[in-house]
């Protein structure tokens, strides 16, 4: 296993559970312990960001927040039913998450916020209304109804290009909600929007309240990753956390038809980058994470802005070397060659009391745990996620944490006059407080408590993520390799950058399903035995509700 992210962890479980492997037959090699499903004390990221001097390593950090979905994450729930809970003996991780979510259902009442405050009250702009015109409806319906076999008609077509004849689409409540819920930009691929509209059509009717969002009890690292790792470790799987694979060696075959891995070159990063080599037998299996959305990320703190790394994503660089040897292995440059399509900047706030959290709840009119708030008038398009507290097991009773992000980090702030990417954590907090104060209806406006809030801050951690939504970049058929490429005898790709029919990237479900497809294909298990998926886009009742929502 090249990479120790959630996809390879799932593949390890499939190998043991469904493939009859023993744990000691599996080795996982990687560097980034805290990937896309992360969450920990800032001090736990010391090795990951050892070359970035920080003035304050206090508080907590989550680079991002992942929204789960009970109805469409079929592979995830199936695998996690095999993983014992770390917190509740006799339960599984699926039990943990679904029991928590059912006890704390999401109902967002402050989803969109403009200069007048939450849009829940204004009849005209109330975000229950999608605000489509007939041209918007026609184009969106046409996109949804396009047969999968015709997707190549959308090769390298952006969402902006697809809706060029109806720019009104980008002013609707629907677009503000959809893009910030799922992380689309106008420059993103129209193909991926098509897939989301089909796969997530059940959520279309409730996108304004995000009632379909399933939340884990704690951050995804503690709620999902750690139990999966323990399951594998308990069964003898070897984890090597200091090894960076730098090249994949292949057997010379006539006309380069067969893809057979024969060796891996690597560096040991905490051992003066000592180089090594691992022989791979033709009967061994190699699973590669061909691209990570948290690669090349940069961290700051309350007093320190991030320093952008110019490097090509390391996991994609390995993929690129392989793709240069075999034509059927895709085109990583489509996803990692243009940061403007994919970059975000997130920030995690830790406070030593609950004053700021309570003020945000008052202004947004909802309790912690109710998903997402987006300030649609913010130049950099700022959103907040206020988690159910505590979000980290090590969080003290007096501490609060929450997370937010800017979708356009190179734009200037509205209250701090510099590009967001150049701001310290303190300046990002000032930008947030400016937006909160603007919509605060109270006579005792939050701006009157600025010093009290600043005194409560433990840390504000900015993280620049150049490839956060790279899987949505404009692409063509063939730019993503198949999970098991044609003629591959022992190599599979498990990531957000392999090709699978129908399913949607930027979800744990996609990685889990790629893991199952990889294991089943290489072990000769019939793909007809893969976990069944729902097709709500074929359910007449669901589609009738969606059609009604189009005119809501």
Identify whether 357 is part of a domain: yes
**Which of 535, 514, 516, 515 lies closest to 526 in space, CA to CA?**
516
CATH of the domain at 412: 3.30.9.80
Give helix 134-145 / helix 540-550 axis angle, nearest 10°: 150
Would you state the structure tokens that stand for residue 528, as one six-digit string? 């007809």
Identify whether 350 is part of a domain: yes
Report how far Cα 317 is from the mean position of its chain's Cα atoms: 20
Residue 146 to residues 140, 497, 504, 506, Cα–Cα distance (Å) = 10, 22, 16, 21
Would you state the structure tokens that stand for residue 71, as one six-digit string? 């109805």
Would you state the structure tokens that stand for residue 221, as one six-digit string? 């690292």
Q: Alpha-carbon distance 161 to 107, whole Å?
A: 33
Q: Are 353 and 398 in contact (CB under 8 A)?
A: yes
Q: Are 401 and 389 in contact (CB under 8 A)?
A: yes
* Mean pLDDT of the region 384-391: 95
- Residue by residue, DSSP assigns 428-485 as HHHHHHHHHHHT--SSS-GGGGHHHHHHHEEEEEEEEETTTTGGGS---TTSS-BSS-
Report the pLDDT value the prediction gives residue 29, as an integer from 0 to 100.
95
Q: Alpha-carbon distance 79 to 11, whole Å?
A: 10
Q: Is 196 a catalytic residue?
A: yes
334, containing H or E segment: helix 333-336
Q: Are 521 and 483 in contact (CB under 8 A)?
A: yes
Tally of CB atoms within 10 A around 486: 11
Q: Alpha-carbon distance 5 to 220, whole Å?
A: 12
Q: What is the pLDDT of residues 474-522, one digit of tens each?
A: 999 999 999 999 999 999 999 999 999 999 999 999 999 999 999 999 9
Q: Are 60 and 40 in contact (CB under 8 A)?
A: yes
Cα–Cα–Cα angle for 240, 229, 513, rounded to 5 degrees = 105
Catalytic option among 14, 162, 176, 196: 196
Q: Average per-residue pLDDT in the chain?
A: 94
Give 449's pLDDT tier (boundaries 50, 70, 90): very high
Q: Compare 327 and 437 and report the one with higher pLDDT.
A: 437
Give 447's pLDDT tier (boundaries 50, 70, 90): very high
To the nearest whole percent, how much of the chain has pLDDT over 70?
Answer: 98
Tally of CB atoms within 10 A around 129: 18
Identify whether 429 is part of a domain: yes
Identify whether 373 is part of a domain: yes
Give 53's pLDDT tier (boundaries 50, 70, 90): low
Q: Are 300 and 294 in contact (CB under 8 A)?
A: no
Give helix 134-145 / helix 190-199 axis angle, nearest 10°: 80
Report the pLDDT value the prediction gives residue 450, as an integer from 0 to 100.
96
Report the pLDDT value the prediction gives residue 34, as an integer from 0 to 100.
73
Q: What is the pLDDT of residues 180-237, one digit of tens each?
A: 999 999 999 999 999 999 999 999 999 999 999 999 999 999 999 999 999 999 999 9
Identify whether 498 is part of a domain: no
Give helix 6-17 / helix 508-523 axis angle, nearest 10°: 40
Report the pLDDT value the prediction gives residue 118, as an integer from 0 to 100.
85
Q: Are 232 and 215 in contact (CB under 8 A)?
A: no
Cα–Cα–Cα angle for 147, 134, 383, rounded to 5 degrees = 80
Query: For 149, which DSSP code?
Result: G
Q: Return all residues near 432 (Cβ < 8 A) that are at least 6 apart.
A: 382, 384, 404
- Residue by residue, DSSP assigns 497-519 as TSB-SS--SSSHHHHHHHHHHHH
Q: What is the pLDDT of residues 80-138, one digit of tens each?
A: 999 999 999 999 999 999 999 999 999 998 999 998 888 877 666 788 899 999 999 99
Identify whether 451 is part of a domain: yes
- Name the domain count of the chain: 1
Per-residue exposure over 160-186, b if at least 16 CB sit within 10 Å of its own CB, e if not: bebbeebeebeebbbbbbbbbbbbbbb
Give me the numbers of helices (H) and strands (E) for the chain, helices first please: 17, 17
Is the pLDDT confidence value at 51 over 70? no
* Mean pLDDT of the region 342-360: 97
Would you state the structure tokens that stand for residue 514, as one six-digit string? 């790629």
Report the pLDDT value the prediction gives residue 33, as an integer from 0 to 100.
67
* Mean pLDDT of the region 417-424: 98
- Residue by residue, DSSP assigns 35-76 as -SS--EEGGGGTTTTTTS--S---SEE-S----B-TTT-HHH
* Mean pLDDT of the region 313-330: 94
Q: Are 321 and 167 in contact (CB under 8 A)?
A: no
Is the pLDDT confidence value at 32 over 80? no
**Which of 344, 425, 343, 432 lies closest to 384 in space, CA to CA?**
432
Task: For residue 360, give its domain range.
Answer: 344-465
Report the pLDDT value the prediction gives residue 273, as an integer from 0 to 100.
87
Identify whether 389 is part of a domain: yes
Identify whether 156 is part of a domain: no
384 HSE (CA, 13 A, CB side): 31
Q: Alpha-carbon distance 124 to 126, whole Å?
A: 6
Q: Are 489 and 471 in contact (CB under 8 A)?
A: no
Report the pLDDT value the prediction gives residue 427, as an integer from 0 to 100.
98
Residue owning tokens 């736990």 = 44
Q: Are 237 and 247 in contact (CB under 8 A)?
A: no
* Mean pLDDT of the region 535-539: 96
Tally of CB atoms within 10 A around 354: 16
Q: Return all residues near 62 (Cβ < 8 A) that are at least 6 apart.
A: 38, 39, 219, 221, 346, 348, 391, 403
């Amino acid at each position: 296993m090249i990479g120790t992210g959630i996809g390879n962890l799932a593949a390890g479980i499939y190998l043991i559970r469904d493939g009859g492997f023993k744990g000691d037959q599996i080795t996982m090699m990687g560097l980034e312990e805290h990937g896309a499903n992360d969450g920990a004390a800032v001090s736990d990221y010391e090795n990951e960001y050892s070359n970035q001097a920080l003035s304050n390593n206090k508080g907590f950090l989550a680079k991002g927040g992942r929204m789960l979905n009970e109805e469409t994450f079929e592979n995830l729930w199936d695998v996690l039913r095999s993983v014992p809970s770390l917190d509740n003996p006799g339960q599984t991780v699926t039990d943990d998450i679904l029991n928590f979510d059912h006890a704390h259902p999401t109902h967002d009442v402050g989803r969109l916020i403009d200069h007048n405050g939450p849009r829940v009250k204004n009849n005209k702009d109330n975000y229950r209304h999608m605000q489509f015109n007939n041209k918007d409806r026609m184009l969106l319906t046409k996109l949804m109804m396009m047969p999968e076999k015709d997707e190549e008609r959308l090769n390298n077509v952006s969402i902006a290009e697809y809706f060029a004849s109806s720019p009104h689409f980008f002013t609707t409540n629907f677009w503000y909600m959809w893009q910030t819920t799922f992380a689309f930009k106008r420059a993103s691929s129209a193909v991926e929007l098509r897939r989301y509209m089909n796969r997530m059509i059940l959520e279309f009717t409730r996108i304004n309240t995000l009632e379909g969002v399933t939340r884990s009890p704690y951050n995804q690292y503690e709620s999902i990753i750690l139990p999966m790792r323990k399951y594998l470790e308990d069964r003898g799987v070897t984890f090597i956390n200091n090894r960076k694979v730098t090249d994949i060696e292949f057997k010379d075959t006539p006309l380069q038809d067969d893809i057979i891995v024969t060796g891996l070159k690597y560096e040991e990063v905490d051992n003066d980058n000592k180089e090594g080599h691992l022989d791979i037998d033709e009967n061994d299996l190699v699973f590669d994470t061909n691209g990570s959305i948290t690669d090349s990320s940069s961290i700051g703190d309350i007093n320190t802005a991030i320093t952008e790394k110019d490097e090509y994503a390391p996991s994609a660089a390995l993929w690129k070397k392989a793709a240069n040897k075999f034509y059927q292995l895709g085109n990583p440059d489509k996803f990692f060659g243009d940061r403007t399509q994919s970059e975000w900047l997130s920030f995690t706030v830790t406070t030593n009391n609950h004053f700021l959290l309570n003020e945000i709840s008052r202004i947004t009119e909802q309790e912690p745990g109710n998903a997402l708030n987006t300030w649609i008038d913010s130049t950099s398009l700022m959103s907040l996620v206020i988690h159910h507290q505590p979000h980290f097991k090590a969080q003290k009773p007096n501490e609060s944490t929450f997370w937010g992000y800017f979708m356009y980090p190179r734009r200037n702030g509205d209250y701090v006059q510099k590009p967001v990417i150049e701001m310290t954590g303190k300046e990002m907090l000032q930008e947030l407080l400016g937006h909160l104060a603007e919509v605060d209806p109270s006579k005792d406006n939050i701006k009157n408590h600025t010093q009290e809030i600043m005194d409560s801050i433990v840390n504000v951690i900015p993280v620049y993520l150049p490839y956060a939504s790279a899987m949505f970049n404009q692409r063509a058929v063939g730019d993503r390799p198949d999970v098991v490429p044609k003629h591959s005898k022992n190599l599979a790709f498990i990531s957000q950058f392999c090709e699978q029919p129908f399913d949607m990237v930027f979800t744990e479900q996609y990685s889990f399903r790629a893991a199952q497809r990889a294991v089943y294909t290489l072990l000769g298990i019939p793909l007809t035995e893969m976990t069944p998926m729902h097709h709500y886009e074929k359910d007449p009742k669901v589609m009738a509700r969606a059609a009604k929502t189009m005119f809501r």
